[in-house]
Amino acid sequence: MCGIFGIITDREQKLGPILVESGKRLAYRGYDSVGCATVTSDGTIDLRKGVGRIEDVSAELDFPAMRGRRGITQLRWATFGAPSYENAQPHLDSDGDMVGAHNGNVVNNVQLRELFLREGLAVRGTNDGETCVHAVERHFDRNGGDMLAAIRAAYDDLEGDYAFVITHREEHRLYAIKKGSGLVAGLGEGFACVSSDLPSILPLTRQVLYIRDGEIVVLSPQRVELYAVHDGAPIERQSERYDGPLEVAEKGGYPHFMLKEIHEQPVVAGELLHLLNGSRHVDRFLEMLTTGGDRPVYLVGCGTSYHACLLGAYYLNQLAGLAAVPVLGPQFIEQYSQSLGVADRAVFVSQSGETKDILNAVKVMRQRGGRVLGVLNVLGSTLMQASDVYLPLGCGYEISVPATKTFVNQAALFLYLAYRLAKRDTGELDALPSLLSQTLQATGEPSRQVARDLNDWRDMYYLGYGLSHPIALEGALKLKEITYAHCEGIFSSEFKHGPLSAVHDGYPVVFITAPGDEMMMINHVNEVTTRGGRAIAIAAEHTALRANVHDYLSLPPSDRFLSPILATIPAQLMAYHMSVARGLDPDFPRNLSKTLTVD
């Protein structure tokens, strides 16, 4: 949530286009408001900001025209303070000498604001990014105008997890600090930059430095210096070259990133399998996964990543007999922390590798001496750095806020691990990319038609049995996330224990069914259809099942372990088409952010 970018250059220039481009590459982190600030050679600050998406605000306020030698962009996902001009970032200090922006959450924001107001500082809004700027301003005067000392002192006052970037108009330097939220620095010819995430840096330079918690970065055009916040001592670390792909945030002919990313699934699944087959990390990962004796292994995730954990638990148990407990990040802390010990292992699954709910759980695991195994998509993320061993998802950047291809690869990765533990031939999984392509082909148009038929409904259910239950949850999450309709995913046998009362004429219920579960599912279908409900099946061809439902989204034949992964595609497509049919933008659903670095 929220994205920051800052740059310092060796000559005055039109920084606006760079700030806008970097901002667009961070837009998935927040789009409630956006702002840019530049500082010219003579120390003049130009600050422009407004509520809305970067494309619109930039056009209205002419961001591209902004000139300077230093620049900051911020994309906001609102937590403290409603989206408004005052709460949009960057923020000025009281007398307009400093400008800064943050991401993350300052949890004692309210108390600090009251203190600042009592002290006579010019507090303009209620946003905690502004609090970061005032916290530095306040210590700047007390520390004789020393920015580094002021930031170190402010760090002690600002509780929570955040990263911020700040500059003083009279000093040709840019400062940034990391405490819990992601921060990466880049160094290029005649400039240095810092950002919440790599995508905004890579078009400018591939020479990067991953910043760690408790570090202050001081950027000048030729240098990136690091200092420890606790004692101010310099830290030696060389920048490294990032050789990964430079993903261009383009839609490649698709109307939305979500549709593009859904169609990328066959390719990224193939790349993941290739990556896993050649990875030396897999053996270490499996060894660590199985060293806990009788202790269950925890699979920890949030949202879509949690659904992958649920499916992973089925795979590990059904294929390899391993007891796995799927659990939400905060639930892991609340429900299991007291019984964790050195023999425990947990797989933490996160697309971004920055989800605070996950990082909190990692911290608890560390405190209890257990092992941290990471599964993540964003290389260099905090989760990657905090893991004893990690496996990458290899999806490239996922721009669209709803997770699609990363879910498929999380599921495929768990299936691969289960195969390895079961000593089954992982070559059997090589069929997955082609099966995913066939599924796209077979269910593309039918999913659109069903979506069109159902589009007037604001309420529906997704039901799945066993292995398909996680996909029912995922289908329901996608649908509510991007259509704003209510949709619930349920274990199909549970439906009769209460929710069945919702069913009336035409009420839509989607039944996701893996091979072998069809006859069981027919019972659950009939409980709905006899009460007037409309049953939509997502399953491989099965004559008896087809005879009992109204609509059939037919999957290519596969086995019961691959089938749930294939079933994800029509569920994603139905949600996508319903969102578009409602005139919504599935890439940027209201109120959401792709990276949630807050509690």
Minimum separation from the CB atom of position 407 to ligand F6R (A) = 8
Region from 225-233, 250-258, 279-287, 351-359 binding ligand F6R, contact rule CB under 6 A: 351-359
Indicate whether 381 belongs to the interface with ligand F6R (CB under 6 A).
no
Residue 123 burial class via C-beta count within 10 angstroms: exposed 0-12, middle 13-18, buried 19 and up: buried
Minimum separation from the CB atom of position 400 to ligand F6R (A) = 9
Please give the Cα distance from 169 to 188 (Å, whole number). Answer: 22
Tokens 């920890």 found at: 300
- 88 or 460, CB closer to ligand F6R? 460
Q: Which of 131, 350, 437, 558 binds ligand F6R (CB under 6 A)?
A: 350
Indicate whether 387 belongs to the interface with ligand F6R (CB under 6 A).
no
Minimum separation from the CB atom of position 274 to ligand F6R (A) = 22
- For residue 9, the tally of other CB atoms under 10 A from its CB is 20
- Cα 528 to Cα 65, 165, 245, 494, 552: the distances in Å are 60, 55, 48, 12, 16
Query: Rounded to the nearest 5°, which phi and psi values hold at 38?
Result: -125, 155
Region from 208-216, 344-352, 414-422, 544-552 binding ligand F6R, contact rule CB under 6 A: 344-352
Minimum separation from the CB atom of position 592 to ligand F6R (A) = 8
Region from 68-76, 101-109, 297-305, 580-588 binding ligand F6R, contact rule CB under 6 A: 297-305
Please tell me the total number of residues recorded for the chain in this structure. 599
The answer to whether residues 194 and 215 touch, using CB atoms and an 8 Å cutoff, is no
Mapping DSSP onto H, E and C, the string for 222-255 reads CEEEEEECCCCCEECCCCEECCCCCCCCCCCCCC
Restricting to residues 181-240, which ones interact with ligand F6R according to CB under 6 A? none
- 194 or 300, CB closer to ligand F6R? 300
Residue nearest to ligand F6R (CB): 303
DSSP state of 180: B
- For residue 345, the tally of other CB atoms under 10 A from its CB is 21
Please give the Cα distance from 307 to 349 (Å, whole number). Answer: 10
Indicate whether 403 belongs to the interface with ligand F6R (CB under 6 A).
yes
Contacts of 490 (CB under 8 A, 6+ apart): 461, 462, 463, 464, 472, 499
- 7 or 473, CB closer to ligand F6R? 473
The answer to whether residues 22 and 73 touch, using CB atoms and an 8 Å cutoff, is yes
- Cα 223 to Cα 14, 123, 208, 220, 418: the distances in Å are 21, 33, 12, 5, 47
Restricting to residues 454-483, which ones interact with ligand F6R according to CB under 6 A? 477, 481
- 477 or 525, CB closer to ligand F6R? 477
- For residue 543, the tally of other CB atoms under 10 A from its CB is 7
What is the total count of residues that contact ligand F6R (CB under 6 A)? 14
Indicate whether 304 belongs to the interface with ligand F6R (CB under 6 A).
yes
Q: Which of 38, 305, 409, 492 binds ligand F6R (CB under 6 A)?
A: 305
- 9 or 568, CB closer to ligand F6R? 568
In which element (H, E) is residue 184 found?
strand 184-188
Residue 295 in tokens: 């202790």
Q: Which of 358, 393, 411, 549 binds ligand F6R (CB under 6 A)?
A: 358
Minimum separation from the CB atom of position 564 to ligand F6R (A) = 17
**Residues forming the active site:** 2, 594
Indicate whether 402 belongs to the interface with ligand F6R (CB under 6 A).
yes
Please give the Cα distance from 555 to 441 (Å, whole number). Answer: 10
Q: Which of 127, 265, 352, 492 binds ligand F6R (CB under 6 A)?
A: 352
Question: In which order are the strands placed within the sheet that holds 207-210?
Answer: 45-51, 33-39, 67-76, 3-14, 191-195, 184-188, 207-210, 240-241
Minimum separation from the CB atom of position 122 to ligand F6R (A) = 36
Residue 338 CB-half CA count within 13 A: 2
Region from 61-69, 350-358, 487-495, 544-552 binding ligand F6R, contact rule CB under 6 A: 350-358
Region from 12-20, 298-306, 457-465, 519-527 binding ligand F6R, contact rule CB under 6 A: 298-306
Q: Which of 303, 392, 470, 586 binds ligand F6R (CB under 6 A)?
A: 303
- 219 or 347, CB closer to ligand F6R? 347
Restricting to residues 478-507, which ones interact with ligand F6R according to CB under 6 A? 481
Binding site for ligand F6R (CB under 6 A): 302-305, 350-352, 355, 358, 402-403, 477, 481, 596
